[in-house]
């Protein structure tokens, strides 16, 4: 191996390597202990440019990056790139902590580390609720050919235009998809359950197996890197943009969730709808906070364009048994699919938000409202909890702000649980989380303002290859 590529994850989307500034190549020797510096000014960059839109003093200085180490094996999960002399690894964000009155210093997880937020939320779920969470992802993407037109401009055309799961379409891309699945399993050590063609032109889905939330978040990043790497070797381009074509289905990354009691018991308490009581309360919290949750799970300027009525995307905050128009599709009494999740997210922040929304329902002891049957957008009578999800980034930011107001008024809501999860018991200082959420929202506001004057076509041209 010639180089190890340390992949860093920024809050505004998944991999900072989308622009290249975070893909730091270092010699492989002693990689586990290698610590690289990166300026904090890179941390809150909007998706449209390398432009600092927050002027807070916290952006001065730098952070440190170190390959993540498994708590089980004590080793980093290094993924070898099959068509390159390099390998990739997900990194952790560190800061240098000095002890008062001493010259001694050590590297510790940074107070702005999304991966640390997820770790702390998982610890709270286990400690206070006696629950573990298992998750798995459906990774959708669109395969494009880069064609230079007669004027010398790059154009991007879907590799094929077949219908959903059509055999002839799959034949066109069989070699590419086969290579992707092989690489994910052999190099990425990820279990591929199945793959198939989706509805939009050139759109495919790869479904991978269940695992613990932190490992799955790491693998979410590595999986996208490997999918794009394989596509490039076939002369193709991959886009995870949620709405690439205005008149076709969107592209998502649905997440499947199961709650597992940590105590040994054969008894499963059920609610009135046949759900496990833990999942019922978890779903109640997701529904109650979903309008705010979307900023973290589908929060790009393009994401809301996928969340349309009648598009199998789930555009109203509700749940249903195997209901493809509900954002929460219950598979069985302890398994739910959350659909308002796409490939533009930071997986650590998104899973932290999902956990904290669910914790809100569990802590209040409320059970899920009644299930919705059919398309909620056409129902004459909807449950009072069934509300329209944000239809723009501006709306997502507004609902997120209102959720924070709930914390300040009565101590309820997703953001309130976020503070409890990461700031208690010697965790992250409240001031640090205040600053993080302030700058996160400020950057989102800048994105919303920038794209407010752009047409759909202009938006896609800017974001097609960013995600």
Q: What's the pLDDT tens digit per position in 26-63?
A: 444 455 555 566 667 777 888 888 777 776 545 556 66
430-451 vs 393-410: helix crossing angle, rounded to 10 = 150
Nearest one of 186, 206, 184 to 195, comparing CA atoms: 206
pLDDT of residue 98: 46
Please indicate, yes or no, whether the overall pTM of this predicted structure exceeds 0.85. yes
What is the pLDDT, as a whole number, of residue 105? 52
Residues 195/205, Cβ–Cβ less than 8 Å: yes
Q: Phi and psi (nearest 5°) for 37?
A: -95, 150
pLDDT for position 284: 96
Would you say residue 456 has pLDDT above 90? Answer: yes
What confidence score (pLDDT) does residue 101 get?
Answer: 53
The CB-side HSE value for 414 (13 A sphere, CA atoms) comes to 30
Share of the chain above pLDDT 70, in %: 83
The predicted structure's pLDDT at residue 23: 41
The predicted structure's pLDDT at residue 110 = 79
Phi and psi angles of residue 236, each rounded to the nearest 5 degrees, phi first? -115, 165
What 3 state SS string does the chain have?
CCEEEEECECCCCCEHHHCCCCCEEEECCCHHHCCEEEEHHHCCCCCCCCCCCCCCHHHCCEEEEEECCCCCCCCCCCEECCCCCCEEEEEEEEEEEECCCCCCEEEEECCCCHHHHHHHHHHHHHHHHCEEEEEEEEEEEEEEEEEECCCCCEEEEECCCCCCCCHHHHHHHHHHHHHHHHHHHHCCCCCEEEEEECCCCCEEEEEECCEEHHHHHHHHHHHHHHHHHHHHHCCCEEECCCCCCCCCCCCCCCEEEEEEECCCCCCCCECCCCCEHHHHHHHHHHHHHHHHHHHHHCCCCCHHHCCCCCCCCCCECCEEECCCCCCEEEEECCEEEECCCCCCCCHHHHHHHHHHHHHHHHHHCCCCCCCCCCCHHHCCCCCCCCCECCCCHHHHHHHHHHHHHHHHHHCCCHHHHHHHHHHCCCCCCHHHHHHHHHHHHHHHHHHHHHHCCCCHHHHHHHHCCCC
pLDDT band at 72 (very low <50, low <70, confident <90, very high): very low
What is the model's pLDDT at position 17?
Answer: 42
Mean pLDDT across 368-375: 90
Residue matched to tokens 């000095």: 98
- Among 24-38, 89-103, 133-147, name the one with the lowest average pLDDT: 24-38
CA distance 69 to 67: 6
**pLDDT tens digits for 274-301?**
899 999 999 999 999 999 999 999 999 9
* pLDDT at 404 > cutoff 60: yes
Question: Is the confidence at residue 24, as pLDDT, over 70?
Answer: no
Give residue 390's pLDDT: 95
Determine the average pLDDT of the residues in 395-419.
92
Confirm if 204 and 195 have CB atoms less than 8 A apart.
yes
Read off the pLDDT band of 120 (50, 70, 90): very high
**pLDDT tops 90 at residue 348:** yes
How confident is the model at residue 38, as a pLDDT?
A: 67
Average pLDDT for residues 112-130, to the nearest whole number? 92
Answer for the pair 416, 409: CB distance below 8 angstroms, yes or no. no
Q: Is the pLDDT of residue 10 over 90?
A: no
What burial class does residue 33 get, using C-beta atoms within 10 Å of its C-beta: 0-12 exposed, 13-18 middle, 19+ buried? exposed
The phi, psi pair for 212, rounded to 5°, reads -70, 155
List beta partners, residue 388. Answer: 316
pLDDT at position 393 over 90: yes
Q: What is the pLDDT of residues 252-277, one digit of tens each?
A: 999 999 999 887 666 678 888 989 99
**Tokens 């496990």 -> residue:** 276
| Residue 443, CB-side half-sphere exposure with 13 Å CA sphere | 30
What is the separation of C-alpha 180 from the centre of its chain, rounded to a whole number of angstroms? 20
C-alpha 260/C-alpha 160 separation (Å) is 41
Q: Is the pLDDT of residue 420 over 80?
A: yes
* Structural contact between residues 363 and 421, judged by C-beta atoms closer than 8 angstroms: no
**Better-predicted residue by pLDDT, 466 or 136:** 136
Q: Mean of the pLDDT values across residues 413-437?
A: 90
31 neighbors 50 (Cβ within 8 angstroms) = no
- Percent of the chain at pLDDT > 90 equals 49
381 has pLDDT over 90: no
Return the residue matching tokens 């929202």. Answer: 441
At 244, list the tokens: 């690439």
Q: Give the pLDDT confidence score for residue 21 in this predicted structure.
A: 33
What's the mean pLDDT when you consider all of the chain? 84
Give the residue-averaged pLDDT of 380-399: 90
């Amino acid at each position: 191996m010639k180089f190890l590529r340390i992949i860093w994850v920024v809050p505004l989307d998944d991999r900072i390597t989308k622009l290249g500034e975070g893909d730091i190549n270092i010699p492989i020797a002693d990689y586990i202990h290698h610590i690289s510096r990166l300026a904090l000014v890179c941390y809150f960059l909007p998706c449209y440019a390398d432009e600092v839109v927050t002027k807070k003093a916290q952006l001065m200085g730098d952070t440190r990056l170190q390959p993540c180490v498994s708590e089980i094996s004590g080793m980093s999960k290094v993924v070898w790139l099959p068509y390159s002399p390099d390998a990739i690894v997900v990194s952790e964000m560190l800061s240098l902590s000095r002890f008062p009155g001493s010259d001694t210093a050590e590297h510790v997880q940074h107070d702005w580390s999304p991966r640390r937020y997820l770790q702390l939320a998982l610890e709270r779920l286990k400690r206070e609720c006696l629950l573990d969470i298992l998750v798995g992802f459906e990774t959708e993407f669109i395969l494009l050919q880069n064609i230079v037109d007669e004027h010398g401009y790059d154009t991007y055309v879907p590799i094929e235009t077949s219908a959903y799961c059509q055999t002839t379409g799959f034949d066109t891309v069989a070699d590419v998809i086969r290579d992707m699945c092989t690489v994910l399993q052999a190099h990425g050590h990820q279990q591929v359950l199945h793959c198939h063609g989706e509805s939009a032109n050139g759109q495919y889905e790869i479904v991978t197996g269940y695992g613990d939330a932190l490992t799955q978040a790491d693998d979410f990043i590595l999986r996208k890197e490997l999918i794009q790497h394989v596509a490039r070797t076939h002369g193709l381009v991959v886009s995870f943009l949620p709405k690439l074509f205005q008149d076709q289905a969107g592209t998502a990354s649905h997440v499947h969730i199961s709650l597992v009691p940590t105590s040994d018991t054969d008894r499963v308490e059920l609610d009135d709808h046949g759900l496990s009581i833990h999942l019922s309360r978890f779903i109640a919290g997701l529904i109650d906070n979903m309008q705010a949750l979307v900023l973290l799970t589908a929060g790009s300027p393009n994401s809301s364009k996928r969340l349309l009525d009648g598009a199998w995307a789930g555009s109203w905050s509700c749940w249903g048994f195997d209901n493809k128009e509900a954002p929460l599709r219950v598979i069985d009494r302890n398994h739910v699919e959350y659909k308002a999740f796409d490939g533009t997210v930071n997986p650590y922040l998104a899973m932290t938000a999902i956990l904290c929304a669910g914790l809100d329902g569990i802590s209040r002891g409320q059970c899920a409202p009644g299930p919705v049957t059919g398309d909620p957008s056409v129902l004459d009578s909807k449950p009072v909890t069934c509300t329209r999800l944000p239809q723009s980034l501006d709306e997502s930011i507004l609902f997120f702000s209102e959720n924070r107001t709930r914390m300040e008024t009565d101590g309820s809501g997703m953001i309130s649980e976020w503070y409890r999860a990461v700031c208690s018991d010697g965790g992250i200082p409240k001031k640090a989380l205040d600053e993080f959420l302030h700058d996160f929202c400020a950057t989102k506001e800048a994105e919303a303002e920038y794209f407010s004057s752009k047409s759909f076509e202009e938006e896609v041209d800017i974001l097609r290859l960013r995600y």
